[in-house]
Amino acid sequence: MVVYSKKITIKTKKKLDFVRITDLVRQAVKESGVQDGIVLVNPMHVTSSVYINDNEQGLIDDFKEFLEKLAPRDFNYHHHLTGEDNGFSHLWRTIMGREVVVSVQNFELELGRWEEIFYAEFDGERSKNILIKVLGE
């Protein structure tokens, strides 16, 4: 059994950003030497998401409008009583999900034709860690 861990750091220039990380995860899978198994990918933060969907800018714009409709940025959240101003970030991350678990086959990520792994940042402009964990043989 092989267990391999890697952390990557992302610092987006914008408060909100969607970054395709499929190749970074693919690279970690290669480094692990795992032929057959799974890989877990998650941010180590509570205001961002790792999710899988289409790599298409229009869809990313749709995600932003959809999230804004469900949990508006400009709203006086209870969480703001702590001095924070990122209540929406916590809710957006909840909608988009925290983590993905993906199959590894023949030393490669086993993704469908349109499946791309994204890091969605909802409170950026600072360094954030993404954890990649590969298990298998």
Q: How far is the CB of 83 from a copy of itself (least distance, A)?
A: 10
Q: How far is the CB of 97 from a copy of itself (least distance, A)?
A: 6
Residue 122 per-residue DSSP state? S
Binding residue for a copy of itself, selected from 8, 66, 68, 107, defined by CB under 8 A: 66
90 contacts a copy of itself (rule: CB under 8 A): yes
Q: How far is the CB of 119 from a copy of itself (least distance, A)?
A: 14
Q: How far is the CB of 25 from a copy of itself (least distance, A)?
A: 14
> Cα(115)–Cα(127) distance, rounded to whole angstroms?
26
| Residue 11 three-state SS | coil
Q: How far is the CB of 46 from a copy of itself (least distance, A)?
A: 5
The three-point CA angle 45-116-63 to 5° equals: 65
135 contacts a copy of itself (rule: CB under 8 A): yes
- Terminal Cα-to-Cα distance of the chain (whole angstroms): 5
- Tokens found for residue 33: 């030497």
Binding residue for a copy of itself, selected from 8, 19, 24, 40, defined by CB under 8 A: 40
For residues 40-70, b (16+ Cβ closer than 10 Å) or e, as one string? ebbbebebbbbbbbeeeeeebeebeeebeee
Alpha-carbon 127 to chain mean position: 14
Q: Under the rule (CB under 8 A), what is the footprint of a copy of itself?
A: 1, 3, 5, 36-38, 40, 42-46, 51-54, 56-59, 61-63, 65-66, 70-71, 77-82, 87, 90-91, 93-103, 105, 110-115, 129, 131, 133, 135-137
